Structure formats: structure tokens, C-alpha cells
A and B are shown apart, each in its own frame.
Chain A
């Protein structure tokens, strides 16, 4: 029964991991860009959410605004810097975005200090629900529901709309999409901003659960890459399955062998990569 409760916990955690990783996966899948600043966008989202709450702004507005501000910031960075290096080798992407990530992290330390903080659960969701004999925080159930809805909306946006088709077409051939009259640079900026905004939203949503500290971005980046590698680079459904897998493995291991919880996640990645080098749902 304890395991069942940990699985439920794992689903909550896994949906957050999905939200964190899907942006990284979209950016890689559509722009073929390796973004090591993804964790920093998550970090910035978390701190902006915290800062907005400090100013008395309601939690729902705080996470929304944090996501939008980070998306706007990411759009500026993409248009001013990153789009110039898309054509270069992935190594250049990594160097540039690690530099960007460090700058964001230092900015957070300068503004909010090196010590972390905690964020209280939004008043509407402080309650608990009983799952059999176990109590389960309402906020975590909300996170599962909210990210599930968001996942559906994102999937529909990318797979079911004309806009999504244009974006997918642009990732295949920037020449062909330009010849149909679409500005590929603007499309790329929008995709990058969307991915970064999703990371920031994940950061904001995570704050009531895990609190915040200036190094949470590094941890988030590692998890996001594990999820994307397990799920398959660029695969939306892969990110969902892998996010849940990683969340559940981590939660179960926290009961079975707490010291090995993080290790188990990486072992899961190694096993998947050995058996399926492209990840669960990766394309060639």
C-alpha cells in the first residue's frame, strides 16, 4: 500500500518532469538546438513566481506571469544571440547556453541571495484528500490535472493545428517553408520562447512542493536531459512516458532505498539507452 501511495506521488512528480522536459525536447526536435540553459529558465521561473508572490500577487497570476516573462526573455536571447549559432556544431550550442545558464544563476544569487526560500501552497489547495489509508495533498493532485490538461493543449497545438503544421514543416526544411511565405526566424523564436516558458511554468509549479534555491536549475537540467534521452529526442509522447517513469522510479526508490533514489534514475537511463539507443519513442 505504501508503494501505491509512492506511485501516486511519482505521477505528480513525473508530470512536473514532463512539463520541464517537453520544452527541451521541443527545442531540440524542432530547432535541432541543444539548450543547456533550460534548467536556468526553470530556475528563473521559480524565482520570478516567488518574487511576484512576495509582492502580493495571487499564485495563479504569479506562475502565469513568470512563464510569460521568461518566454519573452528567451525570445530576446534567441533573436539576439542563439539564432546566430544554430548552424554550428552542437558543441557551440552547449558552450553558449552553459554561459547563459551561469549568468542567469549568478543573477538570481545577486538579486535573491544564495540561500533558498520556501513558498506556501496556494490557499485554495492547502487541503488533503484521503486515498485509501493515505493522505495526499490537494496541490499535488492539482499539479497532475493541470499538467495533463496542458499536455493535451500542447499536443493539439503541435499536431492538430495549422500553426503546428507550419512549425513542424519549418523544422524539416527552412528553405521550403520560407518559399511558402513564412518567416522561419520568427517561427524559431516562437518555438524557443514556448519551450523556455514551459520550463518557467514547471519552475513556478514546483516551488510549493520543493521550495527554491539558486542551484535548482542544475538539478532540473540533469533531470530534463534524462527524461528527454529516455523518451527519445524530440518526441512529445516520449517525454510524457519518460517523465512519468522517472518520477515513479524516483518516488518508489525513496521508500525502498532512499540513498539510491537519484542513482536509480540514471541507471534507468543507462538501461534504456543500451536497449534502445534512440530512447523509447525517438526518431532516426
Chain B
């Protein structure tokens, strides 16, 4: 049985900037894995390289054992990779319901009603334009939309960034439930409390390389690592 997601030694560039310099990581079935690191370390670029928005120049990306390196983003998405961008990528000119409807995939186990049950707030606001939603509602809509697209693996880029604590709790709760439904998750997050609550394993990335890898238990008992790679004040 191959891993849900396996990336090996990928290198990616933005123009001439060599952003990823050999990143490797795996996400096994049923796992939540977080990718940590300071701003500019290459977390978002890693997600973009997996999803095809950026084409890695070297290395391989395998989704459920199938090589998807360098494929177009829509091809990778159809193969079952969901990515919620940091800006959430809500279509502001479309209503909430239109945002959801265009994501519905034939054969998906998720229906519009399922996501409305899960996110009642979206049902209340289904006729509103995407641009009128609050940050928390936009995040819920982005996650709901990704679910309707029937992902085999979900990647979330800083899902609770800038949200009020009560909304953060709600989103964290939803992420746990998605994991419980069997969808593995690769999470980029700065909020360590959230990461510790959700993740089975952590990777830390710095200057485009993975510099640390450990289980939740190993990581939470290792303050040295947190100080060295994640603290802001040096």
C-alpha cells in the first residue's frame, strides 16, 4: 500500500529564485501532517508544487502511488488532490451556493446537503455573494468546496490565520472530522496549539529544505527544536 502523498527531493523556482532545494515528505493514509517553518521558508511553495500551480524542476510527487510531477493543476485536482489556498480563493462575484455547485464532482460521496449540514452558516448565507463573507465563513466555504471536489488528500494553507479564537475552534473541529472521515490532510500552519491538537507528525522546513521531522510526542517534548526553527525573536 503506497502512501497517500509522497514527495521526493523536489526543487522549485519562482523566476530565478531557487525556493525549494530538495523537499521530501510523506503523508500516510488517515494522517494529519503539518508543515511548519518561518515565513518565506517554502511552505506555500511546497503546496503549490504538489498541486501543479508551480512545476518542480527536479524530484517526484506521487499521489496514491501515481506520479503527478509537473502535471497541470486541473489534472492533479481531478486525480483527487484538494488545496485550499491561503487567500481561500473564494469567487467573490459568485453566490455561496454557486461557489459550492461548481465544485461538485460526479461520483463524489459529498453532496451540497452534507456540507450544509456540516456548515449551517453557509446554508444561511447561500444566496449571498462570496465577497460578503467574513474571513471565517470564507474559510468554511473554501473547505466545503474542497470536500465537494471529492479529495483523496486535502492540503490546507494556514486555515485559521487571522480568525477569531471561537472560529478557530470551529475550523479545528471541522478538520478533525474530515480526518475522521478518512481524508488525510497536509496542513501548513503557524499556530502551534492548532498543530499540536491536530497533527500526527510534523515537518519543519527552512530555506527550502526539511530540517526536522518528528511525531507529535517527540515534537512537543523538544523545546530546543521549537526555539531553533520556529521562534520569531532570535
Closest chain A residue, CB of each to CB of B97: A165
Contact flag A168-B105 (CB < 8 Å), given A179-B85, A180-B149, A183-B72: no
Closest chain B residue, CB of each to CB of A172: B91
A173 CB-CB contact with B under 8 Å: yes
Chain A 144-177 against B: per-residue CB contact (8 Å), 1 yes, 0 no?
0000000000000000001001101100110111
- Residues in B whose Cβ lies below 8 Å from that of A162: 101-102
Count the A residues whose beta carbon is within 8 Å of the partner chain — how many?
Answer: 17
> What are 18 of the A-B contact pairs (CB < 8 Å)?
A162-B101, A165-B94, A165-B98, A165-B101, A169-B98, A172-B94, A175-B53, A175-B85, A175-B89, A176-B89, A177-B102, A178-B73, A179-B85, A179-B89, A180-B77, A180-B103, A181-B78, A183-B72
Query: In the complex, A172 Cα to B92 Cα: how many Å?
Result: 8
Query: In the complex, A184 Cα to B53 Cα: how many Å?
Result: 12
B121 CB-CB contact with A under 8 Å: no
State the majority secondary structure of interface residues on B: loop
Query: In the complex, A168 Cα to B103 Cα: how many Å?
Result: 14
Q: Which B residues contact A (CB, under 8 angstroms)?
A: 51-53, 72-74, 77-78, 82-83, 85, 89-94, 98-99, 101-103, 105, 145, 149
| Contact call B94/A168, Cβ cutoff below 8 A | yes
Q: Which A residues contact B (CB, under 8 angstroms)?
A: 162, 165-166, 168-169, 172-173, 175-184
Query: In the complex, A175 Cα to B145 Cα: how many Å?
Result: 14
- Residues in B whose Cβ lies below 8 Å from that of A169: 91, 94, 98-99, 102
- Residues in A whose Cβ lies below 8 Å from that of B99: 169
Q: Say which residue of A165, A175, A178 sits within 8 Å of B102 (CB atoms).
A: A165
- Residues in B whose Cβ lies below 8 Å from that of A184: 74
| Contact call B89/A181, Cβ cutoff below 8 A | no
User: How far in angstroms is the closest Cβ of chain A from B61?
Assistant: 15
| Contact call B83/A179, Cβ cutoff below 8 A | yes
Q: Say which residue of A172, A181, A183 sits within 8 Å of B149 (CB atoms).
A: A181
- Residues in B whose Cβ lies below 8 Å from that of A178: 52-53, 72-74, 77
- Residues in B whose Cβ lies below 8 Å from that of A182: 74, 102
| Contact call A179/B91, Cβ cutoff below 8 A | no
Contact flag A166-B77 (CB < 8 Å), given A172-B93, A176-B89, A180-B145: no
Query: In the complex, A183 Cα to B53 Cα: how many Å?
Result: 12
Query: In the complex, A177 Cα to B94 Cα: how many Å?
Result: 12
Contact flag A175-B91 (CB < 8 Å), given A180-B102, A180-B145, A181-B78: no
Closest chain B residue, CB of each to CB of A164: B98
Contact flag A166-B102 (CB < 8 Å), given A175-B53, A175-B85, A181-B149: yes
Closest chain B residue, CB of each to CB of A187: B74
- Residues in B whose Cβ lies below 8 Å from that of A175: 53, 73, 85, 89
User: How far in angstroms is the closest Cβ of chain A from B138?
Assistant: 12
| Contact call B98/A179, Cβ cutoff below 8 A | no
- Residues in A whose Cβ lies below 8 Å from that of B92: 172
Closest chain A residue, CB of each to CB of B92: A172
Query: In the complex, A173 Cα to B91 Cα: how many Å?
Result: 7
User: How far in angstroms is the closest Cβ of chain B from A159?
Assistant: 10
| Contact call A176/B53, Cβ cutoff below 8 A | no
Q: Say which residue of A165, A168, A173, A181 sits within 8 Å of B74 (CB atoms).
A: A181
Closest chain A residue, CB of each to CB of B78: A181
User: How far in angstroms is the closest Cβ of chain A from B129?
Assistant: 11
- Residues in A whose Cβ lies below 8 Å from that of B102: 162, 165-166, 169, 177, 180, 182
- Residues in A whose Cβ lies below 8 Å from that of B74: 178-184
| Contact call A181/B72, Cβ cutoff below 8 A | no
User: How far in angstroms is the closest Cβ of chain A from B94?
Assistant: 6
Query: In the complex, A178 Cα to B53 Cα: how many Å?
Result: 9
User: How far in angstroms is the closest Cβ of chain A from B103?
Assistant: 5
Closest chain A residue, CB of each to CB of B99: A169
- Residues in A whose Cβ lies below 8 Å from that of B53: 175, 178-179
- Residues in B whose Cβ lies below 8 Å from that of A183: 72, 74
- Residues in A whose Cβ lies below 8 Å from that of B149: 180-181
> Shortest 7 CB-CB distances between A and B: which pairs?
A176-B89, A178-B73, A181-B77, A169-B91, A181-B78, A165-B98, A178-B74
Closest chain A residue, CB of each to CB of B142: A176
Query: In the complex, A168 Cα to B90 Cα: how many Å?
Result: 12
- Residues in A whose Cβ lies below 8 Å from that of B98: 165, 169
Query: In the complex, A177 Cα to B74 Cα: how many Å?
Result: 8
| Contact call B78/A176, Cβ cutoff below 8 A | no
- Residues in A whose Cβ lies below 8 Å from that of B82: 179
Max chain B C-beta neighbours (<10 A), residue from A165, A172, A176, A182: A176
Query: In the complex, A40 Cα to B182 Cα: how many Å?
Result: 55
Query: In the complex, A182 Cα to B52 Cα: how many Å?
Result: 13
Q: Say which residue of A165, A168, A179 sits within 8 Å of B73 (CB atoms).
A: A179
- Residues in A whose Cβ lies below 8 Å from that of B83: 179
